[in-house]
């Protein structure tokens, strides 16, 4: 009997008993696709779970909707770095007022496996507003002449090809390609295991952005079941959003996790997190 285990540290991890396993080495990383009884289809990169069919909606809703609904205006253009499974694009494209979404994925094999096996996320690739670039996200941000309302960094953990997406130079370049009131969001690891990484992310974003805030969500198959995102804004504070306008924005979007209460409560942090991050949260 084959068991897949993602280790969160030396002695603790998540173990899955798959019904079927498909694994290849792409040009950039090890890609594993599992079919399971309890969590459906599972995408794994470099032995780290990226999504499961059962709980992916939490991550993809939270990385997308918080930024979009922080704006007092209707945005038009969004950049997604990573996100080759299509889940983040799916959420962004739920807003009819968004006219254009650029998705930059370094590994085309991720997109191909999603299109073949994960229609629940990959249906986003059928939307004509989505344009896909198969290239390095770091280089794209450095060289693009486009200006975006929102930049979402839907990357894997800070190893392998995603490592450069956690560096301050990358954040500074993202600041430059945002419009005057633009917003940036990146996934920022588990507050239970990775507070040092989170601390560096916040510190580096504060070099460029006047407003930087950490928010979290409960995602069962991610380390500790507790995950974070960091939002950096040029102008708008996500905690000063008109709740009634937010409710109207998300009405009919078929959201399973994000709502107007979650928008605000996700920024409430446990005391141990606030204590460890007090130098950068102040």
Residue 259: name the closest of 217, 212, 213 by CA.
217
Predicted TM-score (pTM) of this structure: 0.96
| Per-position b or e across 208-241, b if 16+ CB within 10 A of its CB | bbebbbbbbbebebbbeebbbbbbbbbebebeeb
What's the confidence (pLDDT) of residue 160?
56
Query: 18 near 124, Cβ under 8 Å?
Result: no
pLDDT tens-digit profile of 90-144? 999 999 999 999 999 999 999 999 999 999 999 999 999 999 999 999 999 999 9
Catalytic positions, written as ranges? 154
CA distance 150 to 125: 19
CATH, domain 4-52, list 2.40.160.50, 2.40.160.20, 3.40.50.300, 2.30.140.10: 2.30.140.10
What's the confidence (pLDDT) of residue 168?
87
pLDDT tens-digit profile of 80-93? 999 999 999 999 99
Mean per-residue pLDDT, 227-245: 98
DSSP assignment of 226-280:
EEEEEEEESS--TTS--HHHHHHHHTTS--SS--HHHHHHTT---HHHHHHTHHH
Predicted confidence band at 1 (pLDDT cuts at 50, 70, 90)?
Answer: confident
pLDDT tens-digit profile of 28-59? 999 999 999 999 999 999 999 999 999 999 99
Domain ranges in the chain with CATH number 3.40.50.150: 56-281
Domain ranges in the chain with CATH number 2.30.140.10: 4-52
CA distance 242 to 244: 6
Predicted confidence band at 198 (pLDDT cuts at 50, 70, 90)?
Answer: very high
Predicted confidence band at 227 (pLDDT cuts at 50, 70, 90)?
Answer: very high
Superfamily (CATH) of domain 56-281 = Vaccinia Virus protein VP39 (3.40.50.150)
């Amino acid at each position: 009997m084959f068991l897949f285990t993602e280790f969160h540290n030396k002695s603790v991890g998540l173990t899955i008993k798959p019904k079927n396993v498909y694994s290849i080495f792409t040009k950039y990383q090890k890609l594993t696709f599992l079919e399971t009884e309890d969590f459906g289809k599972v995408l794994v990169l470099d032995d780290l779970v990226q999504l499961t069919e059962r709980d992916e909606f939490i991550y993809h809703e939270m990385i997308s909707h918080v930024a979009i609904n922080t704006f007092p205006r209707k945005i038009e253009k969004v950049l997604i770095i990573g996100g080759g499974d299509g889940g983040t694009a799916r959420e962004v494209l739920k807003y009819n007022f968004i006219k254009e979404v650029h998705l930059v994925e370094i590994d085309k094999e991720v997109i191909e496996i999603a299109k073949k096996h994960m229609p629940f996320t990959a249906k986003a690739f059928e939307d004509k507003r989505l344009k896909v670039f198969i290239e390095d996200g770091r280089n794209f941000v450095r060289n693009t002449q486009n200006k975006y309302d929102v930049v979402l960094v839907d990357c894997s953990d800070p190893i392998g090809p995603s490592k450069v997406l956690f560096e301050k130079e990358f954040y500074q370049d993202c600041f430059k390609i945002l419009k005057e009131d633009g917003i940036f969001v990146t996934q920022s690891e588990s507050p239970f295991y990775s507070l040092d990484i989170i601390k560096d992310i916040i510190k580096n974003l504060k070099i460029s952005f006047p407003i930087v805030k950490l928010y979290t969500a409960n995602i069962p198959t991610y380390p500790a079941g507790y995950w974070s995102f960091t939002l950096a804004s040029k102008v708008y504070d996500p905690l000063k959003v008109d709740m009634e306008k937010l409710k109207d924005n998300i009405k009919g979007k078929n959201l399973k996790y994000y709502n107007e209460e979650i928008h605000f409560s996700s920024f409430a942090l446990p005391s141990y997190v606030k204590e460890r991050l007090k130098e950068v949260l102040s």
